[in-house]
A and B are shown apart, each in its own frame.
Chain A
Amino acid sequence: MSENTLKSTQSLELVCPAGTPAAMKAAVEAGAHSVYCGFRNETNARNFPGLNFSERELNQGVKLARSKGTKVLVAVNTFARAGDVSLWTKAVDAVAASGAHAIIAADIAVLDYAATHHPDLRLHLSVQAAAATPEAINFYEETFNVQRVVLPRVMSVEEIERLNKEINVETEVFVFGGLCVMTEGRCALSSYATGKSPNLTGVCSPPGDVSYDDEGGNLHARLGGFTIDRFENGEAAGYPTLCKGRFNAQGSTSYLFEDPVSLNAAALLPRLKKAGVTALKIEGRQRGKAYISQVVKAFRAAVDALDEGRDAQQEVSAMLAAMTEGGRETTGAYKKIWR
């Protein structure tokens, strides 16, 4: 039996977001196989105010998760500043000390430090590393002993299947939540509006630069003072992420890059499993307990149904209907028809 066939017979691992200890508890109780989280500083790519974990909270969280059989993966996945890497190396040390299952990193300096100083700590390559080719992934495996890669949300299922045949590491793919249409880790679009890099300071379209203004009944969503979208009375709103803005160009107004929709690949789980994917990632460390609980329950039901050979698509879709940005969803690049 080839490794890829073996992968496709294993149960899919559900990797769920935890922005706070309360959200971690909610994810664990809802049936997450693994949870991912990060520290309350620039070392993780969800550096939002009020979010994330202190070292003490991480230690407690790991203890709680392990007692329920859930693994904790910790993201130290921004790029360290030249000449000032101590924040990142301290974060790696703290992850190792916490007993977490793995560290999720992108920067080769962080990966190297982890591989050298904590060789027993499992390494996952963050989506921020933008590794989507066998050459890149094999380099990370051979150099740092990376054991899993989180794939960018720009690949089709067919591309993932081909990739899996050419690499020896596990693959993890996003299946629900905010849809980043750029190759992550290489996108600096929001920095043109805010002056802050998502890859260094940890926030794309940082909330401190976001404003919502009601003007004549219409909601204007702005980033860094630039109007990114305008929602009419009663129209579902979205976060002003620059790549999901509605702009005037060549005489018409439209979403130039991507609509403000949420990724929902629940219907593609059988194909992703067959493609050799190991783990399914739910986006949303910035979302609340109610959201986490509902989405995790829905996907756990879908994964369990898949293991039992049942089709739970309708049931899962109903559970997820209210959770999407702008009230709309897409299968993103997984069913990509453009080239």
Chain B
Amino acid sequence: MNQQRERGSLPPLFSGALRLVPPPPLGFVLTRAVRRLAVQRPDLFERLDVYRHAHFIIDPIDIPHVFRLIPNGEHATVEMIARSKCPKGTAKISGPLVVLLGLVDGTYDGDAVFFTRDLVIEGDTDAVLALRNTMEEADLTPAELLGFKGDLRDKLDTVTQKGLGALRRQLNAPEAY
């Protein structure tokens, strides 16, 4: 792993400690979130075209788990899998957790963090682009993705945005635009 790729990574001690605690049921929560999104915004999944059946491996390099996303509309699944059992997918997207989250909420431009090598992609580039462009169009906030609405959503997003901004600065993550 090179110097560039480590920008924004969680401290090794923290990453190591995460291996010792039982993983939260994030796969279940995210599967529900993506399926809910498919009901609310079917246009997004049309945008994915054939890649709604693709297996995307999302690899936050600084935590002990990877995610396998199959964005098949209302049948979408997100699984959290131990890194040691990381499956092969159609494409793999790797980077520090805060960089990957920044791609979801639009903090980062995918091309820019790829050019600076803070983000690594492997496999079917067409599939990665389709997912990236769909995420861009989704324009999701973290609270929105998890199904929160109204004032509570706005408050959670404000807190999350401030927290992530501070964390990015603390971790020397790439600068947001």
Interface residues of A (CB under 8 A from B): 19-23, 40, 48-51, 54, 57, 206-208, 210-214, 217, 219, 231, 233-239, 286-291, 293-294, 322-323, 325-327
Contact = CB atoms under 8 A, between A and B. Distances in A.
A39 to B, nearest CB: 13
A287 B111 contact: yes
Interface string B96-119: 000000000011111110111100
Instruction: Decide if the interface of chain B is mainly helix, strand, loop or mixed.
Output: helix
B56 to A, nearest CB: 12
A19 B133 contact: yes
Across the A-B interface, the 6 shortest Cβ-Cβ residue pairs: A50-B133, A50-B130, A49-B130, A291-B109, A208-B126, A20-B137
A207 B115 CA distance: 15
Contact of B177 (A54, A219, A290): A290
Contact of A217 (B2, B49, B115, B138): B2
A54 B44 CA distance: 11
Interface of B: 2-4, 43, 46-49, 51, 106-112, 114-117, 120-134, 136-139, 175-177
9 contacts: A48-B133, A50-B49, A50-B129, A50-B134, A51-B129, A231-B117, A290-B109, A291-B109, A291-B177
Given A288-B109, A290-B106, A322-B177, A234 B133 contact: no
B165 to A, nearest CB: 14
B147 to A, nearest CB: 20
B175 A322 contact: yes
A214 B120 contact: yes
A237 B118 CA distance: 10
Nearest to A232: B2
Given A21-B137, A217-B2, A50 B51 contact: yes
B117 A325 contact: no
A325 B110 CA distance: 12
A16 to B, nearest CB: 15
Contact of B114 (A21, A22, A237): A237
Contacts of A51: 129, 133
B2 A50 contact: no
B95 to A, nearest CB: 13
B130 A213 contact: no
Contacts of A214: 120, 122
A255 to B, nearest CB: 16
Given A20-B137, A291-B109, A325 B48 contact: no
B111 A234 contact: no
A50 B175 contact: no
A322 B106 CA distance: 16
A175 B41 CA distance: 35
Nearest to A233: B2
Given A238-B115, A286-B133, 4 more contacts: A22-B138, A208-B125, A211-B123, A289-B139
Given A207-B129, A213-B122, A233-B2, A49 B109 contact: no
Given A234-B3, A286-B111, A293-B177, A50 B125 contact: no
Nearest to B1: A217
A327 B110 CA distance: 14
